[in-house]
A and B are shown apart, each in its own frame.
Chain A
Amino acid sequence: MVISTDNLTFNFGNQTVVKSLSLQVPQGSIYGFLGPNGAGKTTTIKLLMNLLKTQQGTIHIFDLELQSNRVKILSQIGSLIEQPAIYLHMSGRENLLNRALLLQVSEKRVEEMLELVHLSNAAHKKAGQYSLGMKQRLGIALALLSDPKLLILDEPTNGLDPNGIIEIRELLIRLVTKHQKTVFISSHLLAEIERMATHVGIINNGELLFQGSITELQTLSQPLIRIETDNTVDAANLLTRSNYEVTEITDDYIYVPYTGKKQIGGLNTLLNQNNYTVYSIGKQQKDLENLFLAITQTA
């Protein structure tokens, strides 16, 4: 395990922000840390970075205890916490050079990073004039500068346009598959995480509601059959009369729980025999968003 916390609890005053959290982040994973705003994601990340003092429980990173191995652990971590921390009066390159000096990284690496996040052309511009997306990319370059084994990113795609989001996603996937890094990424953009994460932890009100691989998460969600016909309401009535459970009806679609392939054929025949035209019919996974809502609401 790259990150493993045990019974981590944190209070701000008498408000418990993180409740007995036990995270397990395996090596080589992209761990999506999901939760709505105010769920305790940033607090957890600050605890992992030793910015907040651990009150209860323990944190182990690279199998080392965090408090007693702070500098050694931090030297292997690149991080981006909340909005990127950038000196606005300095150019993008100067920001990186300044950090390179502190981390004793070669200047060549700075140019590589600028290239990587597509800021080479804007490198001489003052960071104060950067757009939100450029600042975010510079923040990611700063996090990657020391070539860390573990990347901890707090909502890194905030403020990026779709292209930027795709680039970051591909970059992270490349880092994990080609360079054996581990990425811990928090987000409230669920669809975003679904596309790259190998592991997921879902947190709400400071409590971990789910933790496991993305496939485990998907099996948790019951697949549905989505049917599109020429007359949604009447078709739904027919299905109900024929003892099918209809879970949801929208203007265009009827949803029925999926049990097997034969069931799809049966549904299709039934509707056709009763003179309904079936435009489309097929199995559908609940997306993470619905799943997430289901998990957070039942808890």
Chain B
Amino acid sequence: MAFWSAILLPLLLCLLLFFGFFIKADQIAKEPGAILWLQFAGAILGIMGSLILPMLIVFIAYSVNSIEHKADTWKTLFSLPISKLSVFSAKYFYAFFLVFLCLLLFVLFTLGFGNLLSTVKPSLRFTEYHIEGVLCKVYFKLFLSSLGILSIQFLLSLLFRDFLKPMGIGFICTITGVILAGNKWKYAYWFPYSHPMLAIQSLMAGSHEKPGPGGMPVIDIEIFSKEIFVSLAIAVVVFVAGYFIVLKKSVR
């Protein structure tokens, strides 16, 4: 279920966007390519940091663990001749992979549908500008910024059997994170649920006022900013702590 949602979410969102742009193609035909791309990618990126990514992670972390809770298979997994570290990290890296896959597909579908639009509606000048590099960097930064949340949500979903606890905590923290980052609180970078939002904000801040050579906008993205380091540190610390909790924990 988690696997298909990681594929369907980017597909459906990009498809929706594709039709949206397709229908109002005449109104936006005058726009230069760079603006078109920014609007196209930005429509998703705008809510990516604040909503899609944190909720996606809450969901993926939950479903990777709930499959064992539901089938009552934790006891079987931990009575197989496999070290507890392998079981724990295999689960974690599957969730990690799903988040990566989902974001990768967002990049591919955004580029794919953008190019498809320019073929179907040649009046849209998507070909004028190449956003590939920037888009990859943005999504890579988003991915890194989400790892702190992933570790926390993964551990919560592993410890709690029911959906409400990890979901509720994740939801409240996401909203808190958005409020903190939205209000530009200067210590927001310490709070992992603010990181995706901060990553998006840095994209906005990185776009230069002055256009570069050829009239194209220039967007600088510093991938390894301080919130990314905090996110990575939290991811590692919570992962290691989680492993020791699993080691000590009794399996019911």
Contact = CB atoms under 8 A, between A and B. Distances in A.
Contact of A102 (B80, B250, B251): B80
Closest 3 CB pairs of A and B: A75-B81, A85-B73, A74-B81
B81 A72 contact: yes
A152 B154 CA distance: 31
Contacts of B72: 82-83, 85
A51 B82 contact: no
Interface in B78-107: 78-83
Contacts of A59: none
B65 to A, nearest CB: 14
Contact of B75 (A46, A71, A88): A46
Interface in A83-138: 83, 85-88, 102-103
A50 interface: yes
B248 interface: yes
Contacts of B251: 46, 51-52
B79 A74 contact: yes
Nearest to A80: B76
Interface string B209-250: 000000000000000000000000000000000000000101
Interface of A: 46, 49-53, 70-72, 74-75, 77, 79, 81-83, 85-88, 102-103, 142
Given A53-B248, A72-B81, A81 B73 contact: no
B73 A87 contact: yes
B177 to A, nearest CB: 33
A12 to B, nearest CB: 9
Given A51-B250, A51-B251, A81 B82 contact: no
17 contacts: A49-B79, A52-B250, A53-B248, A53-B250, A70-B83, A74-B79, A81-B75, A81-B79, A82-B75, A85-B71, A85-B72, A85-B73, A85-B76, A87-B73, A88-B71, A102-B80, A103-B80
Contacts of B79: 49-51, 74, 77, 79, 81
A135 to B, nearest CB: 11
A102 B71 CA distance: 17
Contacts of A53: 248, 250
B134 interface: no
A50 B83 CA distance: 12
Contacts of B250: 46, 51-53
B221 to A, nearest CB: 41
B67 A71 contact: no
Chain B interface mostly helix, strand, loop or mixed? loop
Contacts of A75: 81
A180 B92 CA distance: 39
B202 to A, nearest CB: 41
- Identify which of B71, B72, B76, B248 gathers the most chain A CB atoms within 10 Å of its CB: B76
Nearest to B248: A53
Contacts of A102: 80, 82
A88 B73 CA distance: 11
A49 B80 CA distance: 9
A51 B78 contact: yes
Nearest to B78: A51
B185 to A, nearest CB: 42
Given A49-B75, A85-B76, 16 more contacts: A49-B79, A50-B79, A51-B78, A52-B250, A53-B250, A71-B82, A75-B81, A79-B79, A81-B75, A81-B79, A85-B71, A85-B75, A87-B71, A88-B70, A102-B80, A142-B76
Nearest to B250: A52
Nearest to A78: B79
Contacts of B73: 85-87
B244 to A, nearest CB: 13
A75 B80 CA distance: 7
Contacts of A87: 67, 71, 73
- Identify which of A50, A51, A77, A87 gathers the most chain B CB atoms within 10 Å of its CB: A51
Nearest to A81: B75
B85 to A, nearest CB: 11
B83 to A, nearest CB: 6
A69 B81 CA distance: 10
A53 B249 CA distance: 8
Contacts of A85: 71-73, 75-76
A81 B80 CA distance: 12
A70 B67 CA distance: 25
